[in-house]
Amino acid sequence: MTVTGQEIADYVDRVRGALADLPPAVRDELTEDLPEHLAEVAAETDGTLVDRLGAPEAYAAELRAAAGAEAGARSAFLSRRLDAARARAGTQLRALDTQLGPLLGQPSVSEFLRPLRPAWWLLRGWLAALVISVILGGAPGLLPRLDGSVFAGLVLLAGTVLASVWLGRRSAGLRGWRRQAVQIGTAALLLFSFAALVTVDQRASTDRFGSYQEISTDRRYDMIQDVFVYDEQGRLVTNARLFDQNGVPIRLGWPTCPDGTGVVPPPRYVYPYCPEQAPFAPPVPSPATPAPPAPGTVTPTGSAPAPSGSAPAPSASTSASPTATVGPAPSAEPTTTR
Amino acid sequence: MDTTQLLKGVLDLAVLAVLKDEDGYGYDILRRLREAGLEEVGDASVYGTLRRLFAAGLLTTYVVPSEAGPHRKYYALNAAGRDQLARSGKTWRSFATTMNALLDDRGMAA
């Protein structure tokens, strides 16, 4: 053997260089085995590779032509690979068909499915009626309706079922684009009806809680986590209690203030729960500020309602809409939030 | 008429045909083609054709280690390749028959 590995590597490099305009994947695909192949050639003949095979650039041009890989031919090359993958998938599917057949007591799965085809035709007719009724503006349900009429829906159902059975009995003889049209139509039908059935299922499973939702509290206050009360001077009132006109404590938010330690302190039913998170001013440093009996301003947080006006600190003159009395003694007069 | 032009169209068929009865490695396949009379076929054409047929799923490969020389990559027809060979063979025979008849009709010597 007169050809060295180095000579082969150089030759391969020059061939790859001449194919540099091809997409890298195609070029790698083409030259993947080239070193081994050239080693075979070198082992069989005397003389240098260039003597045997010509210049690497000419070799590359011939290779390119033979492999059908023109510079812009990536898609053709890929589509061939796609065809190959499809052929392989088909073979595997057929193997699986016969392998899984015994599980169903038949030589193959397709033998098991063949007698079930009329059942599929009926199902397809029903799905088609559902999809038609949804497309015509009906609400998704298990029975098709036309303009809310169940009778018209049943007529439609009978029509689509008959059409589906008719199509099923004839589709075996269809070829070419007709066959493709049936396949594409069936796929679209399955997709649509799956979406429709998911909607039906969601409605069926949420209806149970419908009555519960109706008596739920005003949603505006669902988002409230804490309540901050400010007095006339804009100072934060701590340990405030809220009551409605019947003297029932108003409970908003979650009566605890989780600190970073992960330890949840016991619940306290005084506002604010977390004085450190006051939106406008730090808590008053003085030890105990008994809430003045004068009406103050309640500023719920959580849904972040900005106080009316542009003043950074709320005052009595710019009171926000939900007003309530602040103080130990409830009065019967003020507006309440419940 | 330049036979390399003709060869381009039928090299696939020729390569599939020489692999019909016996698997072969690259240089071996080239030698079989040349022994069969296709002397103008180039090494790069055969190698490129093998890569393309392999990518198209018509061939399988396996490596045979060799003590003396380099390892050899053998190519073999799979079911799809045999199928393709049968179909292309029919196409070629019918095409050749048509061409022969065309030339015969005009009194051209074989």
pLDDT of residue A324: 47
In this complex, how many residue pairs, one in chain A and one in chain B, have their CB atoms less than 8 Å apart? 87
**Are A64 and A83 within one domain?**
no
Using the Cβ of B33 and the Cβ atoms of chain A, whether some distance falls under 8 Å is answered with no
Q: What is the dihedral of CA A247, A248, A254, A260, to 10 degrees?
A: 40
Chain A residues lying within 8 Å of B56, measured CB to CB = 80-81, 83-84
**Do B27 and A37 count as a contact with CB atoms less than 8 A apart?**
yes
In chain B, where the domains are located? 3-105
Using the Cβ of A27 and the Cβ atoms of chain B, whether some distance falls under 8 Å is answered with no
Contacts of A79 (CB under 8 A, 6+ apart): none
**Are A66 and A80 within one domain?**
no
**Do A53 and B43 count as a contact with CB atoms less than 8 A apart?**
yes
Asked: is B3-105 a CATH 1.10.10.10 domain? The reply is yes
**Are A223 and A323 within one domain?**
yes
**Do A63 and B70 count as a contact with CB atoms less than 8 A apart?**
no
**Do A84 and B55 count as a contact with CB atoms less than 8 A apart?**
yes
Mean predicted confidence (pLDDT) in A323-334: 47
Which tens digits make up the pLDDT trace of A39-97? Answer: 888 887 778 888 888 889 889 988 888 887 654 445 556 667 777 788 888 888 888 88
pLDDT of residue A219: 63
pLDDT for B4 beyond 80: no
Which tens digits make up the pLDDT trace of B49-75? Answer: 998 898 889 999 998 887 777 788 899
- The pTM assigned to this predicted structure is 0.41
Among chain B residues, the shortest Cα distance to A82 is held by B56
Using the Cβ of A32 and the Cβ atoms of chain B, whether some distance falls under 8 Å is answered with yes
Q: pLDDT tier at A283 (50, 70, 90 boundaries)? A: low
Nearest to B12 by CA among B63, B48, B60: B48
Chain A residues 44-63 with CB within 8 Å of chain B: 44, 52-53, 58-63
User: What is the DSSP code string of chain B?
Assistant: --HHHHHHHHHHHHHHHHTSSS-EEHHHHHHHHHHTT-TT--HHHHHHHHHHHHHTTSEEEEEE--SSS--EEEEEE-HHHHHHHHHHHHHHHHHHHHHHHHHHHTT---
**Are A338 and A233 within one domain?**
yes
Structural domain boundaries, residue A180:
115-210
CA A199 vs. chain centroid, Å, equals 16
**Are A62 and A79 within one domain?**
no
Quote the ipTM score.
0.82
Chain B residues lying within 8 Å of A29, measured CB to CB = 51, 55
